[in-house]
Amino acid sequence: MRREVHTRGAVNHAVGRRGWSRNTVAAHCRTLRTFFGYAEQQRWCSYGIRGSICSHRVPRIAENLSGPPWEDVRRVIASIGISKPADLRAKAMFLLFSIYGLRSAEVRGLTLEDINWRKGSMAVRRAKRGKTQQFPLQSEVGEAIALYLEKARPRCHCRTLFVTLNPPYRPVSGHSMSSIVSPRIMKLGIATQQFGPHALRRACATQLLRTGSSLKDIADFLGHSDLRSVSNYAKFDPASLKNVANFSLRGIS
């Protein structure tokens, strides 16, 4: 095995032509360094290979914090059909990610009991703050969930809102949610570096900022413990800072 590994060109190729994010490349590089560190200890290869594996620096604050443009998010939602069970489930998920800015774990954690149809509300267990937050059930979201429950969700003992469409019925995993969201964004050729559920959360935060919501209200709405995470969105959208004002998201507790 050659002593020197030329990784810089490979990294540029992965980031560019293959479309990998810098975080993905960095993760692969860490895995390779761990493997070759062990291989060097076992004398399976020449010493120094581990140290030659390098990757681009990953900024602490991502360059694409704003997510895909809101118009494109709405375009993807409009493109999802309502005739197939998989589409009905996907549409309900897309709306929860984009309208409420929920994390993947928070959508996975929703149960049938969390939707209160009588009061028109939804309970969300926050993934990071550990508390339950009550939201008014927005009409478009409520209609999409109702249609999914009526025509797509299998009848099963599982109480999780989103379940697999084929037996054995079980809660949809985080990986599966990414597989549901990402291809639908990529199919329309939307200009964004990330395509999973978190990209829709970022799009939600940026849209709230652009429509005049205050940083504090956005932080409360998204379940952040402080303003620092939300203020990062503003750094990448200076024009929106002029529109930030005190705006009450009524019904959010």
8 A C-beta contact, residue 109 and residue 161: no
**Catalytic residue, candidates 89, 153, 184, 224:** 224
Task: State the catalytic residue, choosing from 128, 170, 187, 235.
Answer: 128
- Known catalytic residue: 100? no
Distances from the Cα of 235 to the Cα of 56, 79, 177, angstroms: 22, 31, 29
Active site residue 13: no
Q: How far apart are CA 165 and CA 226, in angstroms?
A: 38
235 given a catalytic annotation: no
Q: Look up 22 and say whether it is catalytic.
A: no
User: What is the Rg, in whole angstroms, of the alpha carbon atoms belonging to the chain?
Assistant: 21
Q: Active-site residue 151, yes or no?
A: no
Residue 45 tokens, joined: 């290869």
The yes-or-no answer on residue 108 being catalytic is: no
Which of 33, 75, 198, 210 is catalytic? The answer is 198
Q: Which two tokens stand for residue 249?
A: 């998201």
Sign of CA dihedral 125, 130, 131, 133: negative
Of 22, 89, 91, 103, which residue is the catalytic one?
Answer: 103
Contact 123, 116 (CB under 8 A): yes
The residues pairing with 124 across neighbouring beta strands, listed in sequence order, are 133
Catalytic residue numbers, as ranges: 103, 128, 198, 201, 224, 233
